[in-house]
Amino acid sequence: MLTTNIFWLSEIDVVCHLDLLKLVDILNVTLYPNIVKSLGGYEAAEHLLSKLRALLPKTNVKPMRIEHVYRKLEFTREKMIVDKHCYNAECTNLMADGRLARCGPGAYAHLHPDAPREFCESKDMFYDLKSDKRDFWHWKHQWPLDACAYCNHFQAIKSPWKVEKGVLRKKRYESDYKMRIADRLAEAGAWAQAGRIYLAIAEETGPDSLVYGKISEAYRNLGQPVLAEKFLNLSRKVSNVETAQGDCAESHVV
């Protein structure tokens, strides 16, 4: 069983993650208003889910709409007494580097500007599948974690939805993530899939010499030299502009 809020879902991602998703019997999908909005609304999210269902006939895709309230999560530097169980402690996250994290807030605390050092340096949060010598059962069931004393999520305080000012979705992280997937596909020789993702990244992020270079490489490996050349030229052109802008910025600093 896998639980996701589908923040990562798009037409491309459905295909990219297919091999992984085929391993899942039940896919619990929590639909939060802000994430649904960033996907293009409920109709767009439902369209992506129906695509998932069509490609994964053996997987039970179970969406659940969260409408108005959410459980608050605030960090503190003052140590609290943890007197309730936090359901999030059962939401184990598998990280890209092979570590497991007991909960989502702990897994991604390094991206949160307000997460205190005491929380981020938790010894109980992570388990490294490659090298950890601790007893796994004990790690998985330990409660509370040292980090919980600095995070009020266990208090289960209900809070109405509010969207904070700023970027709804962290585009840069998403592009980096997609780039890593595409690079892995390219390494595995899946150039058609990799090329599609590079093209999608270029569409989202605009001119970028590195991305154009990768698109060119994909076309070359797909036996399309004309398109490969076209993107190589684009890559060179953008690279010249990037260098000129860099020089300009440096001369201003001087």
Tokens for 94?
A: 């598998």
Q: Rule CB under 6 A: choose which of 6, 9, 21, 151 binds ligand SF4.
A: 151
State whether residue 226 is helix, strand or coil. Answer: helix
Q: Whose Cβ is closer to ligand SF4: residue 36's or residue 148's?
A: 148
The contact mask relative to ligand SF4 for 30-69 (x = CB under 6 A, - = no) is: ----------------------------------------
Contact between residue 233 and residue 202 where contact means Cβ atoms under 8 Å apart? no
**For residues 216 and 236, is the Cβ–Cβ distance under 8 A?**
no
106 belongs to the binding site for ligand SF4 (CB under 6 A): yes
Give the x-and-dash track for 163-182 against ligand SF4 (CB under 6 A): --------------------
d(CA 146, CA 201) in angstroms, rounded, equals 39
Say whether residue 103 binds ligand SF4 (CB under 6 A): yes
Instruction: Give the total residue count for the chain.
Output: 254
Q: How far is the CB of 93 from ligand SF4 (least distance, A)?
A: 10
Least separation in angstroms between residue 145's CB and ligand SF4 is 5
Stretch that binds ligand SF4, among 28-36, 148-156, 174-182, 204-212 (CB under 6 A): 148-156
Phi/psi for 99 (5° steps) reads: -95, 150
User: Cα–Cα–Cα angle for 21, 22, 24, nearest 5°?
Assistant: 70
Distance CA(229)–CA(217), nearest Å, equals 9
Residues that bind ligand SF4 (CB under 6 A): 86, 88-89, 103, 105-106, 145, 147-148, 151, 153-154
